[in-house]
């Protein structure tokens, strides 16, 4: 921890968003809102400054904090790839739903869907939602049509009853999916699944991605070399955890000394969806990228997830595919949303399922500087290194997997 009598604790954050086309405007506004909320709750001074353009890749803003433990200065770099996301963001929801039927079949053939049901079944529901949206919409049209024809062609009372059942079943299917679409965001999840299927097959299937990953690595290495921070965190959220883990593995390949236990560099993955790539039966280039972590068993990688978050692979070690995975890396930590958010906040997110997936980037309703509870604002602006704040928490076990 920095000596408050000498200089502020200096941190660099390199943030990689999920498959979200909203980009830097959304995240900067989020940082402003959440630091203000946290400051109002605690009475401590935490501020997010104005953003500025560093390059075509990087948008930066400062975050400063004055806490009982000292002061901190964070340089928050948003590493852009939302332009690539928008190139693969089909605006025709109906087409996304139809393509997701084949996409779900691909996940089944590759072994992802079966293993997901076994190891983290809630996200299997989210993975199924886009294809089921297409199917239920289809049934909502087809069954009533068959029923109407049946009223004319089906003989006898039993035939007429069967026709009415078909009409009722179709109407219910259509009503149910329309009622629940907003809860599960199938159009968003469908796009993520389709992109993951494309990305995992080959880097070349996503033009510009590999070059962008290397540009991120270049920026991170140069920034740390120049700034020499007390702590440097590569932070990925949602599908951005896949991008962040690749980028970090390449940084460590270039600077292996940063993989040591006392290195200022760390990786933080929030609400991980990396298993969309890592659960594939056949080895792929993502496995190749992540296999580098085997050389750095002491590297500081914190993986926060939450079992109630149905859009993440809760408490799953993405390095399980390695022959001899590191024992406590990544360190799998339960975000314990039920302890840091109010009951009303939790109940709202239990109904609108995708809301909880963004809790990782929200200020706690009950901040506690002295605990090891997850706290996004302290993660990016506190005066303590993440490895110190969470150093005594043991790595958790898969929450949903039944041990054999």
Q: Are residues 115 and 177 in the same domain?
A: yes
Q: Is residue 400 part of a domain?
A: no
Q: Are residues 217 and 348 in the same domain?
A: yes
Q: Is residue 401 part of a domain?
A: no
The pLDDT of residue 111 is 94
Q: Are residues 127 and 104 in the same domain?
A: yes
Q: Are residues 223 and 291 in the same domain?
A: yes
Q: Is residue 118 part of a domain?
A: yes
The pLDDT of residue 227 is 92
Q: At what angle do helices 121-153 and 186-201 cross, to 10 degrees?
A: 120
Beta bridge partners of 237: 270
pLDDT in tens, 32-41: 999 999 999 9
Count the Cβ atoms, other than its own, within 10 Å of residue 72. 26
Question: Residue 332 is encoded by which pair of tokens?
Answer: 């799998």
Cβ neighbours for 212, distance < 8 A, ≥ 6 positions apart:
57, 81, 84
Cβ neighbours for 49, distance < 8 A, ≥ 6 positions apart:
61, 62, 63, 64
Q: Is residue 399 part of a domain?
A: no
Q: Is residue 81 part of a domain?
A: yes
Query: Which residue is associated with the tokens 């303590």?
Result: 384
Alpha helices in 295-368 (DSSP H): 337-340, 343-351
Q: Are residues 120 and 169 in the same domain?
A: yes
The pLDDT of residue 76 is 98
Structural domain tally of the chain? 2
Q: Are residues 96 and 82 in the same domain?
A: no
Q: Is residue 116 part of a domain?
A: yes
Q: Residue 318 and residue 239: Cα distance in Å, rounded? A: 13
Q: Is residue 402 part of a domain?
A: no
Q: Is residue 199 part of a domain?
A: no
Give the domain extent around 118.
91-193
The pLDDT of residue 390 is 93
The pLDDT of residue 28 is 97
Q: Are residues 58 and 182 in the same domain?
A: no
**Does residue 265 contact residue 300 with C-beta atoms inside 8 Å?**
yes
Q: Are residues 182 and 268 in the same domain?
A: no
Cβ neighbours for 105, distance < 8 A, ≥ 6 positions apart:
none
Which stretches of the chain score pLDDT less than 50? Answer: 1-4
Q: Are residues 123 and 150 in the same domain?
A: yes
CA dihedral sign, ordered 206, 207, 213, 219: negative
CATH number at residue 217: 3.40.50
């Amino acid at each position: 921890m920095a000596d408050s009598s000498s200089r502020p604790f200096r941190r660099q954050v390199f943030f990689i968003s999920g498959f979200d086309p909203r980009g830097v405007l959304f995240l900067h506004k989020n940082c402003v809102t959440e630091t203000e909320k946290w400051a109002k709750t605690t009475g401590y001074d935490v501020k997010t400054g104005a953003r500025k353009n560093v390059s075509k890749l990087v948008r930066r803003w400062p975050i400063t904090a004055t806490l009982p433990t000292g002061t901190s200065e964070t340089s928050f770099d948003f590493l852009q790839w939302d332009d690539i996301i928008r190139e693969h963001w089909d605006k025709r929801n109906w087409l996304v739903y139809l393509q997701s039927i084949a996409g779900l079949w691909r996940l089944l053939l590759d072994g992802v869907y079966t293993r997901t049901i076994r190891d983290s079944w809630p996200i299997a529901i989210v993975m199924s939602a886009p294809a089921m949206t297409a199917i239920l919409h289809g049934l909502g049209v087809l069954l009533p049509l068959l029923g109407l024809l049946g009223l004319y062609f089906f003989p006898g009372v039993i035939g007429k009853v069967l026709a009415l059942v078909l009409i009722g079943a179709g109407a219910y299917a259509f009503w149910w999916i329309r009622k629940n679409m907003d809860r599960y965001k199938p159009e968003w999840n469908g796009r993520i699944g389709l992109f993951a299927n494309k990305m995992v097959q080959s880097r070349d299937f996503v033009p510009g991605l590999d070059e962008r990953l290397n540009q991120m690595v270049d920026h991170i290495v140069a920034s740390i070399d120049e700034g020499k921070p007390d702590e440097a965190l590569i932070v990925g959220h949602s599908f951005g955890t896949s991008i962040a883990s690749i980028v970090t593995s390449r940084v460590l390949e270039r600077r292996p000394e940063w993989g040591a236990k006392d290195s200022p560099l760390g990786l933080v993955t929030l609400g991980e969806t990396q298993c969309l790539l890592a659960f594939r039966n056949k080895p792929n280039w993502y496995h190749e990228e992540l296999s580098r972590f085997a050389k750095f068993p002491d590297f500081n990688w914190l993986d926060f997830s939450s079992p109630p978050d149905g859009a993440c692979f809760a408490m799953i070690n993405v390095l399980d595919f390695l022959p001899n995975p590191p024992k406590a890396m990544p360190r799998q930590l339960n975000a314990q949303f039920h302890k840091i958010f109010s009951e009303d906040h939790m109940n709202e997110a239990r109904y609108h399922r995708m809301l909880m997936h963004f809790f990782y980037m929200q200020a706690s309703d009950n901040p506690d500087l002295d605990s090891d509870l997850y706290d996004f604002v302290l993660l990016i602006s506190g005066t303590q290194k993440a490895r110190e704040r969470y150093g005594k928490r043991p790595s958790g076990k898969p929450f949903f997997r039944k041990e054999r």
